[in-house]
Chains A and B, each alone.
Chain A
Amino acid sequence: MKHARVAYGGAIHEAVEHQRGLQLDDGRVLAEDAVVWLPPFEAGTIIALGINYADHAKELAKELTVGAKDEPLAFLKAPNSLIGHRGFTRRPADATFMHYECELAVVIGRKAKNVKREDALRYVAGYTVANDYAIRDYLENYYRPNLRVKNRDTCTVLGPWLVDAADVPDPHVLPLRTLVNGQLRQQGNTRDLINDIPALIEYLSGFMTLAPGDVILTGTPEGVVNVMPGDEVVTEIDGIGRLVNTLVGDVEFGR
């Protein structure tokens, strides 16, 4: 089953996928563009991975002094950054290099502490698509990637659906891609994750107890390019979802 959270007609609803769009919890069937899409679950701790695809590691090699081979490069983000499907992301006027990152997001379904690799997928509630924007102009070499790059309002897009783990028999064979204004700009496959999902759950749960709603953004493959106000960015993962986002400038954003 594919689950969503949406606003419609003055109320917030749970919804599921329907052949004509989506069906609200009260039974009404609506088109995709008739509702406001929220992130599909209440996020707890948001953990993101840097450089977790071999090709992206090569793309960034010039600016790297540590690799992801010895230990996953994990960092944290906060709910202020989250928006849902079909939302608007602010691109500050002074930015010269802002890029999307298409990522498979793994949502934890039950308390996970010292979980072993072979059991790890049993702790997963489901999967969704993340677009984890970065503005590289603000990158500094303290606590990389610093929150000014990675934790900006509207710069973490999640959705449209939370897909039940039971409906994703193998999360390590999923093609993913990003299209900017319809042009293919980024593509990869979750089979190329340096640290796969069980490895990440084993690693993280070894020192931090994961709880339902915690989410792991598993990193992005190569192919990141600058995007501009007005651009439509579609991040999609086969079987998980097609997540649409539009960049807006400061004036249109209004703050």
Chain B
Amino acid sequence: MLDAPRRGTVYGTLLNHRDALEALGGALHEAPYKAPPKAPILYIKPRNTWVGEGEPVLVPEGVDALEIGATLGLVIGRIACKVRESEALSHVIGYCIVNDVSIPHASVYRPSLRFKARDSFCPIGATVAREAVGSPDALAITVAIDGEIVHRASTAGLVRPAARLLAEVSDFMTLSPGDVLSIGVAAGAPRARPGQRVSIAIDGLGCLENPLVAQGPAR
């Protein structure tokens, strides 16, 4: 196990699970989207969102529950610029569990930073070496809330499996050591409330647990 990544850029990927894409259904062809996505859809989880194992996720006042986005992060080990799919994973030093927390919101057209970029909204687990994990393309992901499994997903059957995603992303932006690219969140992400403990497990990566804590009123 290596230390949790604490530098670089953490990227999230949207609608990379087929069920998540299908959940939008006909809306993909209607305004404001107008057409299904062509390139990978990415966003950034800035450094203020990063917390580690056991650290609290702060639930803002007036928000009942947060969406728990359980996903696999690819931790970049060497510069990846225009890499081929066949060699993409050689740029990955390891994998980590990422909890991409959001305030639930319906539209992904132009979502506010308020939903995903809040302090503590991105717990990141320790990095496990690539060789120890093996293929990233068929790992089971489970989410438990207060010890009860509420969501099951997998890294299999993605629109873009890990290597292809990394190759396509590196075609237009260079990823550097310490950057994390997460592969996306499956449909039906569960929600958790203040006072609950959220635990995400991924095959070969162990588990990442964080409590949800109600945030006091703004100073």
Binding site for B on A (CB under 8 A): 44-45, 47, 65-66, 71, 73-81, 113-114, 138, 140-144, 146-148, 151-153, 204, 206-211, 255
Contacts and interface: CB of A to CB of B under 8 A. Distances in A.
A140 B172 CA distance: 15
Which of B32, B34, B35, B176 has the most chain A CB atoms inside 10 A of its CB?
B32
A78 to B, nearest CB: 4
A153 B174 CA distance: 7
A118 to B, nearest CB: 15
Contact of B35 (A71, A81, A141, A211): A141
Nearest to B176: A80
A211 B47 contact: yes
Interface stretch (B105-113, B141-149, B203-211): B105-113
A208 B41 contact: no
Nearest to B112: A71
Contact of B37 (A80, A142, A204, A211): A142
Interface stretch (B87-95, B114-122, B156-164, B190-198): B114-122
Given A147-B172, A152-B173, 19 more contacts: A47-B113, A65-B31, A65-B32, A66-B109, A76-B43, A76-B113, A77-B44, A80-B174, A140-B37, A141-B32, A144-B109, A147-B11, A151-B172, A151-B173, A153-B173, A207-B60, A207-B117, A207-B119, A210-B48
Contact of A76 (B14, B44, B109): B44
Contact of A143 (B9, B34, B108): B108
Contact of A138 (B39, B117, B118): B39
Interface string B34-78: 110111111110111100000000001000000000000000000
Contacts of B118: 207-208
B34 A141 contact: yes
A141 B109 contact: yes
Contacts of A77: 44
A143 B33 contact: no
A204 B218 CA distance: 13
B110 A140 contact: no
B42 A147 contact: yes
B47 A114 contact: no
Contacts of B81: 153, 255
